[in-house]
């Protein structure tokens, strides 16, 4: 795998840890709670 992939993965792992989430969907819901329940 390219080294850039590992860098992005590590950054995302650290971000998820700070937000106390385990997925991209949960991270977005944490950052944008007002949009979490809308489909727009």
pLDDT in the model for residue 37: 65
**Length of the chain in terms of residues written:** 40
What pLDDT is stored for residue 39 in this prediction?
A: 55
Q: Give the pLDDT mean for 14-27.
A: 95
pTM over 0.75: no
Q: Give the whole-number percent of the chain exceeding pLDDT 90.
A: 70
Which sequence spans correspond to the domains of the chain? 3-35
SS3 assignment, position 22 = coil
How far from 9 is each of 26, 36, 37, CA to CA, in Å? Answer: 16, 24, 27
């Amino acid at each position: 795998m390219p080294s850039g992939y590992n860098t992005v993965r590590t950054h995302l792992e650290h971000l998820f840890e700070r937000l106390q989430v385990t997925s991209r969907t949960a991270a977005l819901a944490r950052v944008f709670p007002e949009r979490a329940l809308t489909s727009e």
